[in-house]
Chain A
């Protein structure tokens, strides 16, 4: 392996990004670990390089650019809209491939015209890849979590179930298991002996009695002062759960969800197919469908043919800050992801931004682009 793994095409790529009207940013390689673990979950810990400062602060080597770029944006408080571009090394523990490699990309923060910004992210990623990989056929897969959210909401499912389904979206195995569980819930023992005892004592009959009982028990067991979940939280969720105990996901809804998740077709035909699905199922997808259509229109306007993009209804990322568009670009007939991106409207507020900042971006895997380039040469 060469000691310097910055691909030779990096300067050209930087020029490409500049031509796309972006402002180049760099971020420190050593980052506080907390924001990454908080956003992506503990599972990330195994996949990043962590260390500690002398004072015990958790630090890590930059595993990606989106969070550092957003943090920097919040710190510098220079206002929106902003189009940031980056190119630099990232560090991850990988089973295959090098542990340090280069990524480049664009983060588009604060553009209020969501459809236009989405279309531009897909278009920018494609144009950079086409410049670096002339003659290589590229496939784009696109998904949209907000359409799934709309389907689940339109099915009239209980709020708790909607949340669970949306949360599992993007993780195929988890979602299938969840749907199976909801359509055939475990018959007994889901409440435990203490709840059964309280039911006999009549403590569950109204919310106020239940809250008072939980409050007293917490007091008596020394939990009250440090309680993370309040008596009201617990009582509310217990009553929700009891209301759902005898309901199950009916066959028709299950079939509808499965039919939706199986949709995979050209993006050019997708708006029509979704409208037909909604009409047949008697669901009103309203806003979500309108936004989906305007994104397809925006892609056409910017010069990307939707017929060249595959829409896959089940495609998403199981991270709670992704909110809408997700996409991946691979070489034709190959699973190697060269670029991945999506919309993360919730990330900046989670990271501490005072106002809601819509955001979309993508990143490019330079080592993979280099290997495709090498194979094509």
Chain B
């Protein structure tokens, strides 16, 4: 059987993923021209490369259309319910670092922890005749963190697909859940991260679809081991 690895199709993530695989002894070349969405590994007929957009990779791993993928942990955990049962995080690759965080307006001087936020949320409806709103594209991670870890139920999510940091100032939401790598965009928008508000410290990972046919497959084991050694 041929093992398929899904890689990001453009940008830094594409270069960094190819570099890790090259260090592990798998040198990735595009089939046809540079812009092609199919690739192969030099000298290996048993491995195929599929170049996919970052958001597709977790979905394709979940469907089992690819055997492995290189993608951010945040996208996998957001995209899949019960991620750990469906995929294996084989290796953390040391690039694509981003934290998923809860950030509130800096001027909320009284709010520094999730417990503070819980107090504010509980009172919000009585004071403002609506629930506290959170702008985010991370529905699942937000719900798990707020309800599961902190018992906060009373808030509403406002979907935001871009420029989430601007939502509190523009009035489209009260607070945000978003990714940040340096915190500078948050700072520029007068937002602060809660002291216990880091939901996930994400980075690019080698992720395997949990498929029964991987059991005892030599190529699957070889890829995992080689990538781990290359780090």
What residues of chain A have their CB less than 8 Å away from a CB belonging to chain B? Answer: 37-38, 40-43, 45-46, 160, 163-164, 167-168, 171, 173-174, 177, 181, 186, 189-192, 194-195, 198, 214, 217-218, 221-223, 225-226, 228-229, 233-235, 237-238, 240-241, 318-320, 350
Contacts and interface: CB of A to CB of B under 8 A. Distances in A.
A234 B109 contact: yes
B109 A223 contact: no
5 contacts: A42-B146, A189-B112, A223-B107, A229-B120, A320-B154
B35 interface: no
Contacts of A222: 169, 190
Nearest to A350: B125
B229 interface: no
Contact of B156 (A38, A164, A226, A350): A38
B123 interface: yes
A240 B131 CA distance: 22
B195 interface: yes
B36 interface: no
B155 A41 contact: yes
Interface residues of B, number: 40
Given A163-B119, A164-B119, A192-B109, 6 more contacts: A41-B155, A42-B155, A174-B151, A191-B112, A195-B112, A229-B108
Interface string B86-122: 0000000000000000000111111011011011101
Contacts of A40: 153
Contact of A41 (B112, B154, B192): B154
Contacts of A163: 119, 122-123
Given A41-B153, A190-B113, A194-B109, A46 B143 contact: yes
A233 B111 CA distance: 12
Q: Which 7 A-B pairs have the closest CB atoms?
A: A226-B171, A41-B153, A174-B151, A238-B110, A237-B110, A43-B147, A221-B190
Nearest to A218: B107
Interface of B: 105-110, 112-113, 115-116, 118-120, 122-123, 125, 127-128, 131-132, 139-140, 142-143, 146-147, 151, 153-157, 168-171, 174, 190, 192, 195
A237 B119 contact: yes
A42 B157 contact: yes
Contact of B122 (A167, A221, A235, A350): A167
Contact of A223 (B139, B143, B169, B192): B169
Given A223-B168, A318-B151, A45 B143 contact: yes
A217 B147 contact: no
B118 to A, nearest CB: 7
Contact of A234 (B110, B146, B155): B110
A7 B120 CA distance: 45
B139 A45 contact: yes
A167 B121 CA distance: 11
Contacts of A226: 168-171
A35 to B, nearest CB: 12
A146 B140 CA distance: 33
Contacts of B109: 192, 194-195, 198, 214, 234-235, 238
A38 B109 CA distance: 27
Contact of B112 (A37, A167, A190, A234): A190
